[in-house]
Each structure stands twice: as structure tokens, then as C-alpha cells.
């Protein structure tokens, strides 16, 4: 049995998320369709490191492929890209140990969220455009409340009775680049909608609608108040998935460089 590790990027705008579902277009579904062509009908097992929601993008999604028959990694990558839609691309294909599992072996992930402070004609799919003036210093102050092991039950629609809602947030940075505000969040793993809700809360702090102290109250609550502030999926990217032995880069470049000119 051959095992491969695939790194995949995609524009999630046209898709109902990563996970294969009946009757809708998904990233996993499109990849499996391409694999059937590339492997000429051979049986395979294909799984990603985790799901991304409808409309969410990725520059570094990871998946594993197990199959009895496969071409060389570079040949497989070329065949897949020939069969995939233009908004999905396989960046690398590497041989992996037979025990490698894209989801179970992952030890951390990095997400980026892009907020634009000006209207952009080219990046609407990839940013959350806000007309409001945001106080970035207040957002940075509020972001500190999320660091460490946190119970994010108020920031997800996952059922706390079925899975743990505790997440180790290792880093959360709010930076500026021209007219972009970039939120980078590094953690052990992430719950359904949690990054979008953290972003939405930080935006409300930046607007002045919430105070940094309000964030602590939300973190200490089991209520669903945070759901009211869920950021749209358009600005969110799964940037990296980490495995044992990998070094986490200090900086990850954002995808869209919105010019300074208004």
C-alpha cells in the first residue's frame, strides 16, 4: 500500500466546505473525482486534516492518500491538477509512512483572517470589507484573553457533550499591512466556527461595541452570545497544518495585498 501526503490550496467560494456531502460540491468531493481519473479507477483512501466551512479558503490544507497502485509523486500531482477545477490546486505530493494520518497526526494549525479597511474590486472573495474604523490597539489587547488553554464552548456550534471544547491557543496576532488587518491564530486544533467567532469578537472590540473585559466574560460563559458576532467566511484561510518535527514560521504572508491608495 502506497501512502502520500498532499498539500492543497483552494478558493472555497464555490464550495460547501471541505467535507464530502451528497448533492453539493465540496473540495474533498472534487479531489476524489480527480483521484479516480489520476489513479485510473484504482481503490483509494483520501482524508483531510479537518474540515473547512463553506466559503472558507486554504493555502495549506493537508490530506493523506492511501492506494495500492500509484504513479510517482510528481506525476500524480500533475495528473491531479489536470483533472481539478481551476480553483483547487495540489501544491505538493510527498511519500509518507503507511501510518501517516492527516487528521490524527496533526499537532497544530494556523489560520489567517483578512479584514479590508477599504473597498476592493479584486479581493471581495478573500476579505471582510468593513467601513467602520477599527481600533487595532484595542483588538490586540482583547486578543490576549484567548491565549493559553481555553474553553471555547461559547465560540462553536460543536456539541460539548460529544467532544471537548478546550483548545490550546498558542499565538494570536493582530497586524496591519496597508489597508489590511490580518488576524493570525495558532492553536492545537480549532472547533467549528471558532476562528470566525473569535474574529467577530475582536472586530466588535475594535469598533468599540465591546470592551476587552467583555471578552473575558464571553470566555467564561457557556452561552451562545458569541454566535451573534460570527465573521463571514470570505476572509478566512487555513494557512498551515503542523506535524511532529515541523517548525512553525514566525511570519506567514497574507494572500491579498490591498494597496494603500483609496
Asked whether 167 and 150 are in contact (CB, 8 A), the reply is yes
Pairing relationship of beta strands 88-95 and 166-177 according to DSSP bridges? unpaired
Phi, psi (5° rounding) for residue 103?
-90, -50
- Report H helices in the chain: 27-38, 73-83, 136-143, 194-207, 212-219
Closest listed residue to residue 203, CA positions, set 125, 144, 116, 134: 134
**How far is residue 201's CA from residue 93's CA, in Å, rounded to a whole number?**
37
**How far is residue 89's CA from residue 11's CA, in Å, rounded to a whole number?**
9
* Set of cell numbers at residue 17: 466546505
CA atoms within 13 A on the CB side of 96: 21
Asked whether 79 and 37 are in contact (CB, 8 A), the reply is yes
| Enzyme catalytic residues | 53
Amino acid at each position: 500500500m502506497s501512502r502520500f501526503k498532499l498539500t492543497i490550496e483552494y478558493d472555497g467560494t464555490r464550495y460547501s466546505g471541505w467535507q464530502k456531502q451528497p448533492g453539493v460540491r465540496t473540495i474533498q468531493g472534487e479531489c476524489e473525482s480527480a483521484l479516480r481519473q489520476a489513479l485510473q479507477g484504482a481503490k483509494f483512501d483520501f482524508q483531510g486534516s479537518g474540515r473547512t466551512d463553506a466559503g472558507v479558503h486554504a493555502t495549506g490544507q493537508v490530506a493523506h492518500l492511501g492506494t495500492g497502485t500509484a504513479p510517482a509523486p510528481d506525476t500524480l500531482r500533475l495528473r491531479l491538477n489536470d483533472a481539478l477545477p481551476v480553483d483547487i490546486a495540489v501544491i505538493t505530493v510527498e511519500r509518507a509512512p503507511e501510518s501517516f494520518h492527516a487528521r490524527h497526526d496533526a499537532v497544530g494549525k494556523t489560520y489567517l483572517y483578512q479584514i479590508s479597511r477599504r473597498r476592493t474590486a479584486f479581493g471581495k472573495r478573500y476579505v471582510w470589507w468593513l467601513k467602520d474604523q477599527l481600533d487595532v490597539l484595542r483588538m490586540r489587547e482583547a486578543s490576549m484573553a484567548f491565549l493559553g488553554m481555553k474553553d471555547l464552548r461559547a465560540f462553536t456550534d460543536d456539541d460539548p457533550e460529544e467532544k471537548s471544547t478546550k483548545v490550546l491557543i498558542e499565538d494570536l496576532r493582530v497586524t496591519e499591512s496597508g489597508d489590511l488587518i490580518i488576524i493570525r491564530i495558532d492553536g492545537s486544533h480549532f472547533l467549528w466556527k471558532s476562528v470566525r467567532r473569535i474574529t467577530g469578537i475582536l472586530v466588535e472590540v475594535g469598533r468599540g461595541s465591546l470592551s476587552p473585559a467583555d471578552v473575558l466574560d464571553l470566555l467564561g460563559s457557556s452561552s451562545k452570545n458569541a454566535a451573534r458576532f460570527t465573521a463571514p467566511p470570505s476572509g478566512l484561510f487555513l494557512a498551515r497544518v503542523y506535524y511532529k518535527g515541523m517548525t512553525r514560521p514566525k511570519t506567514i504572508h497574507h494572500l491579498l495585498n490591498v494597496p494603500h491608495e483609496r
